[in-house]
Amino acid sequence: MLRRAGLLAALTALLVPAVAGTATADAAKRKDRSPVVSKVAPTHVFVGEKLTIRGKYFRRGVNKNTVAFKRKGAKVVFVKADKGTSKLLSVTLPKRLEKVLKVVNGTPVPTRLQVRVLAQRFGKKFTKLKRSPVVGPEKPPAPPKPAGVDPSGDCDADGQKNSVDGDDDNDMLTDDVEKSFATDPCKADTDGDGVEDGYEWASARDLNDDEQTGVPYPRKLPYPNALDGTDGDTDHDGDTLTLLDEYKLWRVSGVRSLSHLSYSAGEQYSIHTGGGATQRRPALAADGYDKQADFLAWAQGAGYAQYALSDIGSLYGAAQDEWWEPRTAYDIRDMDRSGALHPYERLYYDVDGNDLLDDAERDEDADGLSNWSESLGCSTRKYWDALYTKERPYFLDYPDTRLDDPDTDGDGVRDGADDQDHDDVPNIMECSRTLAAHTGQDAMDAEDPQPGLNAAGFVNPFNPCLPHLRSRTCKTFVTIGDPWAPFVLNEQDDYYFVWN
């Protein structure tokens, strides 16, 4: 018995190193295992929703794993997984993930993001593109569900009961269409952004038109969306006009139709031929534009076709004439006061010079100022403050003009011929320093500095001391320590030479 016990002990001693070596190898192998991602679901997901990741070698528990999201050209974003098993992770996509999404017209758009998991070790590589999820920005909050349309009521007050009215809210979408898109059939503006549901529906259709086949209204961002109350200030089609601006222009155009919008938030050239499966071509010529003809006809009849202006000398040379001295008459489009109309003065509203007018270059209210000028351009104070940052603004805050009202202040004078700062130079002649200085549309065409010419070109519709130091509204005495243009300048200042 003693010999048998001794033999068993000897055999056990021989086996221990072998078993210990196997255990050590298995532990090392487990330690070297990097997490592997085999599948993600859903393949299309939005910020705020959960993403499920399947694979192996994950850590069990809450907040034990980290998921890395990557797009080429952007920083990697790391997100803690809510919970995990060795083969499955669940992660909620946070708001900060929108920073890695592509941006179109200032709006994050759905983007394919590659993923990689950090458990005890970092996964060896990101997922291949075709196996990676498409992540979209956070969805706008769903509007409250309509309580239902009262058949005996009259939502749009048109005298027809809802039970027999196919469009209860008069937004040009039938009740059946509205129900299919979850908009309110008894509310013309479901999301409350100031734009009717029908207009947003039609603009999204136009934006999504790929000229291959007719495409329906897209339901998701980043299109004009009747369920997104935050997109009124978005320029979806890149013509510089916002959704709300184009809606206002559509309303005042008098053409209430969704089949071909007179102003579309999905078209740069809303006036065009073709469409659908036919290639679209701009159709509105700059020369002979009817709204410009309307403005000029009004100016002729109202006595504004010729504008009497004070002569002007150099800011630092000959003294300027007093405002009560005799004046010289100029065509209201003769912005450089040369006595003759140059082509770029006659067609000043055709900014890009391609002889065709996009929605921003048009002038729907026929006041002589383009839609762009009155929405974001030279008829807004913020344009001048942002463009000439070294130039101290005048102390009075004159109001902007409106793109959907030809006579913003109601004095009977259309905005282009009117004079916001009351310096007796019309707004239209103070809208461009390039044109007023006779440098044409291309600033590289500038001639050598000419004192009188540069002084005449030093315009600003929100500063009565530009271009005339002695205008009837330029403040007589300048406040010490708080001057405004041009009293803060000298001849070496870049802004004195207009083309800079």
Cβ atoms 439, 357 nearer than 8 A: no
- Residue 148: its pLDDT value, please? 59
Counting residues of the chain whose pLDDT is more than 70, the rounded percentage is 81
pLDDT of residue 221: 77
Residue 492: is its pLDDT beyond 70? Answer: no
Pairing of strands 88-92, 103-104: unpaired
Rounded to 5 degrees, φ, ψ at 477 are: -120, 140
With 90 as the cut, is the pLDDT of residue 357 above it?
yes
Instruction: Quickly state the pLDDT bin for 451 (edges 50, 70, 90).
Output: very low
Domain ranges (residues) in the chain:
1-32, 36-136, 175-282, 284-500
Per-residue pLDDT at 310: 87
Which band of pLDDT confidence, cut at 50, 70 and 90, is reported for residue 443? very low
58 within 8 A of 88, measured Cβ to Cβ: yes
Asked whether residue 13 carries a pLDDT value surpassing 90, the answer given is no
Average pLDDT over every residue of 348-355: 93
Per-residue model confidence (pLDDT) at position 491: 46
| Per-residue tokens: 286 | 């700059």
- Asked whether residue 92 carries a pLDDT value surpassing 60, the answer given is yes
> CB burial class (10 A; 0-12, 13-18, 19+) of residue 8?
exposed
Mean pLDDT of 35-45: 94
Q: Choose between 211 and 102: higher pLDDT.
A: 102
**pLDDT (mean) for 113-118:** 95
Length of the chain: 500
For the ranges 1-15, 20-34, 426-440, which has the lowest average pLDDT? 1-15
The per-residue pLDDT of the chain, averaged, comes to 84
Examine the pLDDT at 242 and tell me if it is beyond 90. Answer: yes
* Contact (Cβ atoms closer than 8 angstroms) between residue 358 and residue 239: yes
| Beta partners for residue 330, in sequence order | 307
Instruction: Note whether 115 and 53 are within 8 A (CB).
Output: yes
DSSP 8-state assignment for residue 242: -
pLDDT confidence tier of residue 6, bands split at 50, 70 and 90: low
Least confident of 4-13, 27-36, 367-376: 4-13
Q: Given a cut of 80, is residue 278 above it in pLDDT? A: yes
Higher pLDDT, 440 or 192: 192
In this structure, what are the phi and psi dihedrals at residue 238, rounded to the nearest 5 degrees? 80, 20
Q: What is the pLDDT of residue 141?
A: 74
The pLDDT of 381-386, averaged and rounded, is 92
In whole angstroms, what is the distance from residue 235 CA to residue 266 CA?
A: 9
The dihedral of CA 405, 409, 415, 420: what is its sign?
A: negative
pLDDT at 456: 73
Whether residue 316 has pLDDT greater than 60: no
> 243 - beta bridge partners?
none
Helix (H) or strand (E) holding 331: strand 328-331
Q: What is the pTM of this model?
A: 0.69
pLDDT given at position 32: 61
Q: Is domain 36-136 given the CATH code 3.40.50.300 in the classification? A: no
Residue 346 in this model has a pLDDT that exceeds 90: yes
Task: Using the predicted structure, report yes or no on whether residue 94 has a pLDDT greater than 60.
Answer: yes
Q: Summarize the confidence of residues 303-329 as an average pLDDT.
A: 77
Confidence of residue 369 (pLDDT cuts 50, 70, 90): very high
Token pair for residue 53? 């990741």
pLDDT band at 246 (very low <50, low <70, confident <90, very high): very high
| Residue in this structure with the two tokens 């997984």, named with its chain if needed | 81
Residue 497 has pLDDT above 50, yes or no: no
